[in-house]
Amino acid sequence: MADQLTINAFLIIAVFYIIMMAVSIPANLLIIIATITDKKLRSPTNMLVCNLSVASLIIATLRIPVKLYELLNPDASFLFPNSTAMCQFQQILPASCVLCISITLTTICVDRFMAIMYPMKQHLKMTLIRLYIFLPCSWIVAFACFIAYASYATLFPYKGNIYCVPVYPKGQNDIIIHETTANETYPRTIEATKIAIWSLFIPFAFLIPSIIMSTLYIRLVLHLWSGKGPSDETHTIALRDQIKRLKQKRRVIKILIACCTVFIATNLPYYIIIMLLDMGFITVANTSIVVNTLIMVNLSAIAYNPIIYGYFNKSFRYRVDAMIRNMVGLTPRRRRTFTVSSNTATSQAPNNSQRYSPRQPGKTNPKETYLKTTPREPAKSCIRENTKPKVTESVKNTERASIETTLTESVYSYSIESFRHSKYSSDV
């Protein structure tokens, strides 16, 4: 029988699971529907984000309800007491989804790193063809890694109830540790299969992805924030476009770093403490409360990821907003239009009073009215003809060549920047 402290703790954890489901299921569904229905969102990076939502949705709909039943009925048997297959499925499902999320996050990080650091190397960029090969392979690898672990899960009877637990086989390579207490010394066995599974799971699901993402994101931050950008006094179109692209890249990297931070924060305590408890290296009071709390923190990323990718991503936010407005019968909100000022490199939205259309009756353009009512005066020369300085033909040719060279370099640099970013740069 569970004591009152355990029952109250399980009830609080169950409330958090319900909140996670209430956030995760609709948010991830909206991201999946928005990506499928809008062709503009079907970029490789957005499709990887959609894959994250699929994995999160599977956990929210197939694993968390079973976990809620176990928390609200701590003295009850397994939900499917006569099905070993369901016991194994419930063990392999969350582990495989978590590994698939790790693989997808690492792939997004590598793709963004290649796109920003090596924009001209197209063969390094993730394409839709490579993506359609990667997505099923990531799921196959994720499930294949835990087939052995799921095979050890079985229905174990204990005190009149049936529980779904992993039972590791004994072998010659097992490690025997002799522990001494105040009264006696007793041997404790650590199965070799358990050590092998933890040795594979922690590096591939957490350690290697965390090292790769941390290293690459640190390099991207140093690359995007350490350099000195163009000053605000520069007014050329190419530099204004360069500033805009730089801000977009920084915003994308901020979103990805936030998701990487959530991944490390929710997985690090789970893997360290759960592994030490499973190996028997540490002991804590109320082990069931600690274990279920760590599992809840580990699975809480399914609610954080759609918020980070959906709310802070403008493309997803506009599309989801339009979908919700169509569902409730409201007019979709228009995106704000921007006009670039000629004096600064910033942009500002015009007021409604400044927008005019000559086709709409009752509205006139003040610029056209001024041109019609104000008579034009003939242009007057400020310098008399006989006082103009004489310019030789060689000086004219030199000035003309200088102007042509400047214009050619400006147009060439702008064309290269536009081609470079339009072909090799993408958003989340």
End-to-end CA distance of the chain: 50
**Rounded to whole angstroms, what are the CA distances from 238 to 30, 312, 318, 408?**
37, 27, 28, 13
Tokens for 212? 């790769």
What is the C-alpha separation between 250 and 221, in angstroms, rounded? 8
What does the alpha-carbon distance between residue 30 and residue 307 come to, in Å, rounded to a whole number?
11
pLDDT confidence of residue 377:
52
Radius of gyration in angstroms for the set of CA atoms belonging to the chain, rounded to a whole number: 31
Cα distance between residue 269 and residue 298, in whole Å: 8
Which domains are delineated in the chain? 4-330 (1.20.1070.10)
Exposed e or buried b per residue across 58-89, where buried means at least 16 C-beta atoms within 10 angstroms of its C-beta: bbbeebbebbbebbeebeebbbbeeeeebbbb
- Report residue 185: phi and psi, to 5°: -115, 130
Contact indicator for 32, 50 with CB cutoff of 8 Å: yes
Contact 119, 420 (CB under 8 A): yes
User: What is the number of other CB atoms lying within 10 angstroms of the CB of residue 92?
Assistant: 19
At position 320, the amino acid (one-letter code) is V
Which residue ranges of the chain lie beneath pLDDT 50?
Answer: 232-234, 337-358, 367, 370-371, 379-389, 391, 395, 407, 411-412, 414, 416, 419-428
Rounded Cα gap, residues 246 and 238, in angstroms: 12
pTM of the model: 0.72
DSSP code string of 166-191: E-PPP-TT-EEEEEE-SS-EEEEEE-
Phi/psi at 42 (5° precision): -90, 45
Looking up tokens 């009830």 gives 11
pLDDT at 125: 84
**Interior/surface letters 147-164, b for 16+ CB within 10 angstroms, e for the rest:** eebbebbebeeeeeeebb
Question: In this predicted structure, what is the pLDDT of residue 381?
Answer: 47
Angle at 49 between CA 51 and CA 132, to 5 degrees: 50
Residue among 263, 319, 306 nearest 57 (CA): 306
